[in-house]
Structure 1
Amino acid sequence: MTLSILNDEDWDISKFHSDSEYFVKRPPYQRKTVWDTGKKKELIDSFVRQLYVPPVVIRQVVLDGNDLRLEVVDGQQRITAIQEFFEDEFALPDSPELRELNPEHEIAGKRYSELSEDVQEYIDSQCSLKVIKLRGIDDPDDKRHQELATKVFWRLQQGEHLTNIEKNHSKTYSPVRNFIVQTADDISFDRENYESRDDNPNRHEFFTLLARNNDRLQQLSLLARFILIEIDEGATKVTGKEVTKLFDCKREGFTVHEDLEEFKQRDEIQRVQRMLDLLTELYRDTDLKNGNGEIEFLNKEYFILSLYSLIRELEFGDYNFGRDNYDEVRDFTEEWFKRFRS
């Protein structure tokens, strides 16, 4: 297997919009789009003013029938911002620099469709972004190709501020990671069509009840800590360091070579699944849901972990715990949450 790199391709930024159907911006190892509108505006401002923008790295992937996809290894945030600008989702900054750039044309604070044809032509044909293409690892079904693309991604992210779970999310070789992503994430990747999806048909219902967003993969982090609790069958360390050891399969009996379906049959994973089902049954019909169907008290990680630990003790301990006790547990949880909040 040989990785070849073709440097020095300058693409008009309009290409990222006109050919958007070919771009896979969120391959399995990628994090989510996290740039706010301010950063997106600054990027387009840099193009318009001909300031330096770092190159993006793209892996060519060849599907059946020689259908080509452009997998974004590095540059997801930039490419997304470019596409959203052309789709009028935000405007250029209303800055003195842009107001003074060309007095003949009003561009400051304007969306793409509000710009004159001359300015649109300038942006379409004179604003470019350097692209580095990775070739020789273009088989979407070859695990070695995927692993090498993941390694390139990981090394390019070393200067970025990533959370612990975002770093571990890129470990696509790990059955722990793949179970957690499949079970808790709100997005997914369709390997058959080689495209990212904005939903996850395999996501457990419990995670839809959380009043806790998932923009930085917080819900994946929560599930990782549930697994740590079940490995030790109770109270244990759930630090970021322990989460990393879990993803790296450095817990006793774990291996990165384990098949995902076999991994799901592990006793500790079966207990996690049982607990997710139980928590969902307990709280899906609570009166404390907000307008989005999220449960108010399922918002803080420390509270959710405390609640999980308490209920797992009732479920797996030597107690006569069953559906007859559910209302009592619900009432207790609501009162407990009020005390946490105060």
Structure 2
Amino acid sequence: MECRDKSLDKLYKRRSKIDIPEYQREKVWSLEKKRKFIDTILKGWHVPKLYFRSMDPEDQSFECVDGQQRLNAVFEFYEGKISLPVGSEKLYGGLTYDTLKTSYSDTFDDYCFQIEEIEDASDQELEELFLRLQLGTPLNTAEKLNAIGGELRGYIKELADHSFFKDAIGVKNTRFAHFVICCRFFYLEIFKVPNKLRQEELEKMLSDNKKFSRNSSAAKKVKLILGFLYEVFKENSKLLTNRANIVSCYYLISLFKDIKSLNSKVDVFRVFFFDFFTALQAEVEKGSRAKDRDLIAYQDAISRNTDSREAINTRQRILLKYLAQQMPDIFRLLEIPVSERAIIIDEFVDSFKESILLINKNYLAKHGTQKIKYTNEIIAADKILKKLITDEADFGNMIDSLYKLLYEGSGNGVRLLNSNNEVLDDIKSFRLDLRHDIEHSKSHDIRKKSRKISDTYFKYTGKKALSLLDSNDFSILQFSIYSKIADFLNTEKG
């Protein structure tokens, strides 16, 4: 072992490189205990050392053997999720990191944890170390899962030796790590909607499926997805050094209706995952200067309550939103629960508002006025846009609201819809079909407009007329339009 000092600000910027192993306790500190710990740091007092296991010296990724709660308290203080007790501001200048006196924020940033870095330790040695550090606290180890007999356990153990685990991820197979990850894959397939992916749920799944067919749909699908993910990540295994990211990548692919059809899109997914995780790492390293709401939320869903249903779905929704910007037709290929669809739509509309605020801020600085004014009519439109559409009436209201937001939003003669952008042109085509009688146009114009409207519907749904759409088509249409609008507004932000 080698002892090193690491400052808190550097640990925070590198938090995506610190993984929490299976045997860490699920118990979390109370708010009062977190506050006292932060106060201890600000006073410069000594705290016990942390223990990290070196996973990849070149990549500088680690497994936190002991010290998860101390790290989480520090990270939450940086992010404004916990504050000091009322009255502390008299000494420190404020109750949160952002309001501390500069001298105290510098003290916090520069405070160093002593970290014992462990290399080449066996599983047995690590378990003994953790037991001694925790003074005999019972462990929830991966060994417990491995000890459960049955056909499902046997099949998972075989798949844990798949090339994906051996050659396409950066997580070493210590303490049956690959076996546990594969257990989580099967849990997602067997139960469809993710619940907590923690020890007790996985134990129950294995116990309840001691009789299991290798020819079942779940068995075939997991093996198929492992093959696809191997092709995607085999050339860049260091992208996946975190168990939560591995589970999220699997879950994303599992939502597709036809996994085999994705074989022609390996390069698309390879680029997508590389771009996403690179952007995530860059945002994390900004520390307290990070601004991207989605990437911050994604990282937060990794750092805390990693295996909860809420965290899993949060990561999933964010991955879907980013993927939709590279694959606008993605929602035609997916099976997403209705409850999750509604949340994704809600988040899309919130992202529209955030983008428009920044567009207005930049435009105001240059021209002295806003580009899109939030009138009462537009605020009402905002509420309509958050509704999950299922029929022609909903669709018409959505298109009217988008038109008001992106075209009638400005009182200054500035029109976003004048921009040369495909989705904005599509909105005008839909509105033309819904709100204007093109039969009164000249014959050649009628044919031209009708063909354009038909092509627009087909592009989004595979059907050529509004009258042919069913409730699922309307949902796909809404997702696809929103993903394109999000991409357009991101471009407009400059």
Query: Shorter-chain-normalised TM-score: which range?
Result: 0.3 to 0.5
Which structure: greater strand fraction? Answer: 1
Larger-gyration structure (1/2): 2
Choose between structure 1 and 2: higher helix proportion: 2
